[in-house]
Each structure stands twice: as C-alpha cells, then as structure tokens.
C-alpha cells in the first residue's frame, strides 16, 4: 500500500515537501511551491491517482501569512490549483482536506487573522469558499 506525506522544509524560505511511501521506503516527489514561502498542512486522496494537498503560502511581500494554497496530484505530477478566500480576509491558512470523490472535496482552515473559520468546497478543478452559519 502506498502513502503520501506532506509538510514544509526550512531553508532561507519554506518550500512544499511531499513524499511517497511505496511500501518499503519514502521518496521525495517533486512538487511546485507557490511564490514565496509555502507549507503543506494536510493531504487526502480520492482514488490513488488523484490527491490534494492544502496549506498556506506567504509571498515575500506579506508577513506573517497571506493566503491559502492547494496542490493537485493527477497521477503523474503535482500542480498548483488556486484557492479562494473571502474578500479582505487577512491572514488565511488551510489545515485539513478530505476527498469524498475526485469531484467532491472539502477543506477547512481559518481566515481574518485566525479569528474565523474558513470552509472551501472543491469540484476537482476549482475551490469555492463557504462561511459557516
């Protein structure tokens, strides 16, 4: 059984780090890092060739955090998929993701400088934010 792990690696900037478990050992899988720093907080897979990783990105002009980020695994490579945030949302981060199917994804996090809950629904090609009632 294969597995995936995600996180960040610290250098002069943080870059996304994703590894794959092949049943015997872990191996780094190349993954894009959005502009500036980035850290992956969670990963989920629907079928084994369709996975999502979420977290935050911090462009060099924003401190300490700026916005949410997501990466999509299509079975052969990772790619950045834009996330959405409420207008004027301040600091935003995604902490968890679940893949019900390849076209029904949910992620949770916070925005407005950690003071409000952020929920986003993924369709497999884009994310749409929802505010809890």
* 116-122 sheet: strands from edge to edge: 93-101, 104-111, 116-122, 127-130
Dist. CA 16–CA 80, nearest whole Å: 11
In tens, the pLDDT along 4-26 reads 555 444 444 667 788 888 899 99
In tens, the pLDDT along 23-65 reads 999 999 888 866 667 788 999 988 768 899 999 887 666 555 5
Give me the percent of the chain exceeding a pLDDT of 70. 75
Residue 98 token pair? 């679940």
User: What is residue 99's predicted lDDT score, i.e. its pLDDT?
Assistant: 93
Contact call for residues 120 and 128 (beta carbons, < 8 A): yes
């Amino acid at each position: 059984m294969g597995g995936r792990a995600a996180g960040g690696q610290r250098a002069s900037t943080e870059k996304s780090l994703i590894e794959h478990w092949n049943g015997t050992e872990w191996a780094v899988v190349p993954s894009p890092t959005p502009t500036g720093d980035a850290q992956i907080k969670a990963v989920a897979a629907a079928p084994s060739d369709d996975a999502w990783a979420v977290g935050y990105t911090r462009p060099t002009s924003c401190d300490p955090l700026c916005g949410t980020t997501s990466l999509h695994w299509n079975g052969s490579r990772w790619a950045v998929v834009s996330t959405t945030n409420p207008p004027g949302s301040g600091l935003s981060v995604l902490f968890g993701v679940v893949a019900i199917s390849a076209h029904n994804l949910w992620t949770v996090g916070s925005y407005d400088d950690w003071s409000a809950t952020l929920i986003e629904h993924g369709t497999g090609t884009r994310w749409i934010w929802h505010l809890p009632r």
